[in-house]
Structure 1
């Protein structure tokens, strides 16, 4: 169910957000790359705190950000990891400005890579592709083997019309996590957009995509191509 939700969210973004995002990007001056901090180790938590945060993270994965916030208020764990979960929950409940404040505070902490990702997602949702690319590139540099970051970075690259780098990011994501359905969808979608039908269908078979998924990706390709100036 979660993968379907992510897929439909991506479909909506692709069909409705792409033109506005590209327009915003075209008038934004290029900014210097973000200097990432060296990887730090987070302070140890008690087994009980670790378990509670894992349960809250699972709530977020299941699409229950309001419940996650309630449990964060209840457990009162003081750590960067807890604050990161709070920022994720705030972003997912539509409170991006509050989430951004927390992400910025965490950008030099032991969870900096995930904080950069959060900032990149907020920038992307706001139509600022240049800022999103900067933050997601920083996130990828900090956590190069995190498949979700590779996928997000590839998606924004695709939005910006940088198809070859996007293809690299999607391929990296699916090789790092072969069962990561969202990256598989994005990879096939990009191949359809590029007109490489044979390769798109070959990857679809490799990932085990069903006919309904492939038809939806084709429709999304047509919709995004019509929307692109």
Structure 2
């Protein structure tokens, strides 16, 4: 697809997603004016948003293909494309490749995003290292609710409940509309047996009964793992 047609398709897709409120997780500010370059109208932010929407929908192969297309056309911000490629490769389970790409960004303006990606990348295989990366991300992006939530969840899994509470409460206050952060805070309260807090949060947020039941099952599983011989 020629670049002009691809940009038009990207703009149409972005407009349809905005109208449907399908992807509220990312808000990058008002649309930027398209820039004239080599006789072609190229809106870098729209193209980047197209790739991000693919990542959000789990279309990692398509996102990677568009990153490669953008590089081949000579367009786009180099560091931003490196980050988007790292995200796509993380989603595809290409651990070594994603790690190398994130590492290349640690001295860039995207260091906070790169540390966050590294924390998520190593969450299952090396929890302690993952927490270290997420802490660095939180230092660089202290008002990023996703970073604080992911750090809080990692701390909860590591049985560091007091630290987890600080991060998850911060995430909820930064993004009150985030079901993910709220549910992780609820999970922590259930693990600790703080039913007063559980009842208050579920009542005020009108949490669906199905969600509450699912979180209680998770809490039981976590508590069983903690009390089992050799459990963390």
Structure-1-length-normalised TM-score? 0.77
- Indicate how the Cα distance of structure 1 residues 196 and 61 shifts in structure 2: closer, same or farther if over 3 A, else same: same
- Equivalent residue for 1:157? 155
Matched, 1:195 2:193: yes
Tell me which residue corresponds to 1:212.
Answer: 210
Aligned to 1:135: 133
Q: Residue 29 of structure 1 aligns with which residue?
A: none
**Greater relative contact order structure (CA < 8 Å, 6+ sep):** 1
Offset at residue 49 of structure 1 (A):
1.7
**Of residues 59, 63, 68 in structure 2, which corresponds to 1:68?**
63
- Matched residues in 2 for 1:79 and 1:174: separation? 33
* Structure 1 residues 41-69: Cα deviation after superposition (integer angstroms, max 9, x where no partner): xxxx9551221011111111122222111
Deviations 1:118-150, CA, capped at 9 Å, x for gaps = 111122121x22211111110000000000000
Higher mean C-alpha displacement, 78-87 vs 134-143: 78-87
Rg: which structure is higher?
A: 2
- 1:107, CA displacement in angstroms? 0.7
Distance 1:75 1:195 in 2: 51
Aligned to 2:103: 104
User: What is the root-mean-square deviation of aligned Cα atoms in Å?
Assistant: 1.7
Q: Which moved more, 1:208-217 or 1:71-80?
A: 71-80
The residue aligned with 1:182 is 180
- What residue is the counterpart of 1:52 in the other structure? 47
Task: Tell me how far 1:87 sits from its aligned partner.
Answer: 0.4
Unaligned runs of 5+ in 1: 4-44
How far the C-alpha of 1:78 sits from its partner, in A, is 4.2
Shift of 1:152: 0.6
When the two structures are superposed, what TM-score results if normalisation uses the length of structure 2?
Answer: 0.76
**Distance of 1:60 and 1:106 partners within structure 2:** 19
Task: List 4+ stretches of structure 1 deviating above 2 A.
Answer: 205-208
Q: Does 1:83 align with 2:82?
A: yes
Instruction: Tell me the distance in 2 between the aligned counterparts of 1:200 and 1:65.
Output: 36
Match of 2:38 in 1: none
Question: Are 1:145 and 2:140 counterparts?
Answer: no
> Is 1:166 matched with 2:164?
yes
Please give the secondary structure, in 2, of the residue aligned with 1:124: coil
Q: Specify the SS of the correspondent of 2:119.
A: helix
* Residue 97 of structure 1: how far off its partner (Å): 1.0
